[in-house]
Amino acid sequence: MPRPDTLPAWQQLHAYREVVGAGRLPSPHWQAGEAGWLQMQAGPLHADLSRHRIDARGLELLVELGEQSGVSVRHARMLRGDRVNPTEGRAALHVALRGEGPLVVDGIDLRAQIESDIGAQAQWAEAIRGGTWRLSSGDAVRHVVNLGIGGSDLGPALALEALAAGADGPACHCVADLDPRALRGVLADCEPSATLFVVCSKTFGTRETLANAARAKQWLRAAGVAERLLQRHFVAVTAAPERAAAWGVPAEQCLRLPEWVGGRHSLWSAVSLVLQIACGPAALTGLHRGARTIDAHFADAPAHANLPLLMGLLGVWYRNLLGAQTQAVLPYAAPLQRLPAYLQQLEMESLGKRVDVDGEAVAWDTGGVVFGSSGSHAQHAFLQLLHQGTLLVPSDILLFDDTAAEEPALNANARAQAQVLAEGGQVALAPGGHGRLPGAQPVSLIRAATLDAETLGALLACYEHKVFTQACVWHINPFDQWGVELGKQVALGLQAAGGPG
């Protein structure tokens, strides 16, 4: 994989940038009403990328940059199980979890393993939902608390909230924070005799997760649960079942989390168990089906109509050529209010790198800051800065057609914000220049018919492939995250030294 500053398209883009300057929005194609300009369908998603600071020549150079960066070649290497995470010597096969067809890596039939794991997840979900699994009291499970952090919390918490309308199982909760108040607040609404904990930790050594799991044990003991029966209240999702067994979760109550699945991609795995308990195993099937449509789209769609590829390349354009440091994500759907937090991990943990795959310092900007909230809140909080501030902030606005009938103003607001961010305008009642909105903020408008498991799966896969595209261009490894380790080590040292916290 070549460094970007050695590629002809990279040099040509910088020369092109000098000629066109900062550009203007909307693009000349959008101004002229050119039919189909940067409009595309990707599975259940329809995307309108016409409000971007790019014309046909700039787009052509971006596509060439993607080709010269070897996006398709590296994608094929990832899919066949090559060790594309060089610092940890691992494959990155999260896409395989939702895939179909044969997959043999190092002589091992991974497809058979994956199907077996999915079957085990479904069996556990049905046993808990149907009351077959009984707790120490003999009661069926009425509350489930997922204990995890990072990818073991952000994905399940997002999916639980996004798909809550279809929940018909036990009440499910997610707790991640090391602060004891987080778990206490959830357990205040739970009964010890009817509560199951799902401990999600790939290494079964995650400090925050094990601290909360220990508190859960103590809560059960305080309620009178006998020590020998505590295990009835715990299931583990881990790549280290021996550690889970030593802690107190029997091997038969452990679901496998493969080593080749990174935390921020783990929703596709048994980490989704809490979602399956809440909504049934069909929820995972829907997530996988939606993601597969985007996997196929990313692999097969032509570059000029390839949504995740173009999202990634446009992000490179703004970051490296126009100096943007941030990206806003604005879902006009209350159930997706956790999406920006999920994408913060996906993008900022993957792309927050200052050295390339060879360990050499980069000479170009890499990942930026992702932020956002539900669109309704954003309008009354921070969109003022995007409209009249001095920062260039590209935005993704997400909307869903099925909400329009119930509350037409929601999607009207989404479309209005896209228009005003791009075109600007004048507030009639404001004096002088105070009411002037310059526009020229890039906007992607992504819409779907409804927010269901398939649509959610497609959305998440789309952002995964966007991040993969940018990592290829920037010549970095998006699958490791060494930057978080030093703080953990220092914290352990400070704790061991004693003294005030």
Q: Taking 60 as the threshold, does the pLDDT of residue 216 lie above it?
A: yes
Residue for token digits 């398709």? Answer: 72
Query: Can you give the pLDDT at residue 176?
Result: 98
Query: Can you give the pLDDT at residue 210?
Result: 97
Neighbours of 185 (CB within 10 A): 13
pTM: 0.95
Q: Taking 60 as the threshold, does the pLDDT of residue 226 lie above it?
A: yes
Query: Can you give the pLDDT at residue 20?
Result: 77
Return phi, psi of residue 384, to 5°.
Answer: -55, -40
CB contact set of 111 (below 8 Å; sequence gap of 6+): 96, 99, 101, 102, 103, 104
Query: CA-CA distance, 473 to 476, in Å (whole number)?
Result: 8
Q: What SS3 state is found at 364?
A: coil
Choice among 11-15, 60-64, 418-422, 485-489 with the minimum mean pLDDT: 485-489
Query: Can you give the pLDDT at residue 403?
Result: 85
Query: Can you give the pLDDT at residue 406?
Result: 86
Domains of the chain with CATH codes = 4-92+286-428+435-484 (3.40.50.10490), 100-280 (3.40.50.10490)
Interval 194-212 mean pLDDT: 97
Q: Where are the alpha helices (DSSP H) in 80-150?
A: 94-97, 110-129
The 10 Å CB-count burial string (b at 16+, else e) for 10-25 is: bebbeebbeeeeebeb
Q: Could you tell me the CA-to-CA distances from 339 to 15, 81, 334, 434, 484 in Å, in that order?
A: 36, 29, 10, 33, 22
For the purposes of burial, counting CB atoms within 10 Å of the CB of 72, is it exposed (0-12), middle (13-18) or buried (19 or more)?
middle
> Of 18, 252, 380, 434, which one is the catalytic site residue?
380
pLDDT band for position 80 (cuts 50, 70, 90): very high
pLDDT band for position 458 (cuts 50, 70, 90): very high
Q: What SS3 state is found at 368?
A: coil
List pLDDT tens digits, range 264-296.
999 999 999 999 999 999 999 999 999 999 999
Q: Which tokens hold the place of 50?
A: 């016409």
List pLDDT tens digits, range 93-122.
999 999 998 999 988 999 999 999 999 999
Q: Taking 80 as the threshold, does the pLDDT of residue 414 lie above it?
A: yes
Q: Taking 80 as the threshold, does the pLDDT of residue 353 lie above it?
A: yes
> Of 349, 423, 454, 464, which one is the catalytic site residue?
349
**Mean per-residue pLDDT over the chain, rounded:** 94
75 is catalytic: no
pLDDT band for position 26 (cuts 50, 70, 90): low
The 10 Å CB-count burial string (b at 16+, else e) for 56-68 is: eebbbbbbbbbeb
Interval 169-198 mean pLDDT: 98
